[in-house]
Amino acid sequence: MSNATTPQQAPGRHIPDRLQSPLVRGLKSWEALLAVVAVAIFVANAFASPYFLDPWNLSDASFNFTEKALIAFAMAMLIIAGEIDLSVASIIALCSTVMGVAMVAGAPVWLLVVLGLGTGLACGAFNGLLVARFGLPSIVVTIGTMSLFRGISYIVLGDGAFTGYPADFGWFGQGYVWWVFSVELVLFAVMAVVFGLLLHRTNFGRMVYVIGNNATAARFSGVRVDRVRFILFLLTGVMSGLAAVCLTSRLGSTRPSIATGFELEVVTMVVLGGVSILGGSGSIPGVVIAALVMGLVTFGLGLLNVPGIVMSIIVGALLIGVIALPRLWAMWRK
């Protein structure tokens, strides 16, 4: 009898994600899942309220996320680099206060905008200097400056408020570029493209990823780590200043409590967008879709007359859930 054995079929080989086609990788990505969730929420809102599909109502819904998303674009790059800025809401308060003081002194609209952006830049530079130059932990530094910046606003305003901004200043937060497309929505779209190109198509963006994965190796590879970190804090400060211009213009007033809680929603938006809270991974398209998801959720709950405190609970639960989900998934697969 022959001892020959029949040949066995070779087991199928697993194709690494990096060798798969861009289409397959895209369909398996976190961004694709978020897009499905966004569509599901949109459909649910359309069935839940007869007023949801009105174009002007949808335009109003954009105000629920555009100002926070402007900060989230810069915050995403900062977190990818392994840092964080929890003072962004307080920067908005200080920028708004500076604009209010200038408005009372009779400053023109263009100067109000310059002062708002400049104050944000100065706050970002202060945070960046403490982190990049002196090596202090960013979470500790920005918790401190969170109290510092808002404290200055309370010293200047107390329980009062600045009102009576020029009518032209209201264009930034209340104006429309065309039909239902507000100035804020156009700014959101433009900044999404700018930060998307900066992070995904430039050497600077590649350095951000390298620093987030291994700052020590990046330093030995010739990357100017401290300089990149400082620039990222500058960007976060400037975007907070831009958000302050839009928010102050939309509200038409300045109070020291303005933008309270924004830092939680910005971080939630970034993490929900797929940016690792530990740094090293994430994308701007993910943050864009996450902003849309949070805006749709907030607007939908508002149409159903859900109280604001319940919305805060949902945002907090969403942040915890998104951070815990990867760990739970890894535990389940073991």
Q: With cut-offs at 50, 70 and 90, classify the pLDDT of residue 5.
A: very low
Per-residue pLDDT at 20: 58
Phi-psi region of 158 (alpha: psi -120 to 50; beta: other; left: phi over 0): left
Per-residue pLDDT at 6: 43
Per-residue pLDDT at 247: 97
Q: Is residue 24 part of a domain?
A: no
Are the CB atoms for 182 and 176 separated by under 8 Å? yes
Per-residue pLDDT at 23: 58
Q: With cut-offs at 50, 70 and 90, classify the pLDDT of residue 9.
A: very low
- Among residues 170, 162, 171, 172, the alpha carbon closest in space to that of 106 is found at 162
Q: With cut-offs at 50, 70 and 90, classify the pLDDT of residue 305.
A: confident
Per-residue pLDDT at 15: 47
Residues 73, 209: Cα–Cα separation, whole Å: 15
267 token code pair: 């971080």
Number of folded domains in the chain?
1
Q: Which domain holds residue 241?
A: 35-41+48-333
Q: With cut-offs at 50, 70 and 90, classify the pLDDT of residue 21.
A: low
DSSP state of 307: -
Domain CATH for 219? 1.10.3470
Q: With cut-offs at 50, 70 and 90, classify the pLDDT of residue 51.
A: confident
150 token code pair: 């808002």
Q: With cut-offs at 50, 70 and 90, classify the pLDDT of residue 34.
A: confident
Per-residue pLDDT at 14: 46
Are the CB atoms for 125 and 145 separated by under 8 Å? no
87-96, 271-280, 315-324: range with lowest mean pLDDT: 315-324
Q: Is residue 11 part of a domain?
A: no
pLDDT tens profile 235-286: 999 999 999 999 999 999 999 999 998 998 999 899 999 999 899 999 999 9
89 pLDDT more than 50: yes
Q: Is residue 202 part of a domain?
A: yes
Q: Is residue 298 part of a domain?
A: yes
Residues 123, 289: Cα–Cα separation, whole Å: 28
Q: Is residue 220 part of a domain?
A: yes
Per-residue pLDDT at 334: 60
41 token code pair: 């929420």
Q: Is residue 29 part of a domain?
A: no
Q: Is residue 26 part of a domain?
A: no
269 token code pair: 């938006």
pTM of the model: 0.89
Local structure of 311: helix, strand or coil:
helix
| The residue to which tokens 């199928």 are assigned | 12
User: Which amino acid, residue 308?
Assistant: G
Q: What is the mean pLDDT of residues 62-89?
A: 96
Q: Is residue 18 part of a domain?
A: no
21-30, 54-63, 141-150: range with lowest mean pLDDT: 21-30
